[in-house]
Amino acid sequence: MSDWQPKILAILCNWCSYAGADLAGVSRLQYPPNIRVVRIPCSGRVDPLFIMKAFQTGYDGVLVSGCHPGDCHYLSGNYFARRKFAVIKPLMEFIGLEPDRLQFSWVSAGEGERFSEVVTKVTKDIQKIGPITKMVKGV
Partner 1 sequence: MNKVIKIENGTKQGVLNFLEHLITTDKISGVLTLRKINEKGICDYGFISDAKELKFADPFAPVMPINAAQTLSSLTPTTKPIAAIIKPCELRGFVERVKRVQGSMKNVLLISYTCGGVLPLNTFQGDGSEKIIADYYNAISKGETPGSIRPTCKACEYFVPMMADITIPLLGNSESESECSLIMNSEFAIQISKEFQCEIITSELDSKIIDKVLAVRISEKEKLYNKTKVTKDGLDELVNIFGKCVGCHGCSRVCPICYCVMCDFESHNFDYNIEIFETELEQKGALRLPPDTVFFQIGRLAHMSFSCVGCGQCEDVCPANIPVATIFKKVGEATAGLFDYIPGKDLEEAIPVMIFKEEEFEEIGK
Any contact of residue 1 with partner 1 (CB under 8 A)?
A: no
Report d(CA 121, CA 117) in Å as an integer.
6
Taking the C-alpha atoms of residue 8 and residue 106, their distance in angstroms, rounded to an integer, is 17
With CB under 8 A as the contact rule, the residue among 41, 69, 110, 130 that binds partner 1 is: 69
Binding track, positions 42-61, relative to partner 1; x by CB under 8 A = ------xx--xx--xxx---
C-beta of 25: minimal distance to partner 1 in Å?
A: 22
In the list 4, 39, 41, 86, the residue contacting partner 1 (rule: CB under 8 A) is 86
CB of 76 to partner 1, least distance (A): 7
State the residues that interact with partner 1 by CB under 8 A: 48-49, 52-53, 56-58, 66, 68-70, 76, 79-80, 82-88, 90-91, 93-97, 104-106, 134-139
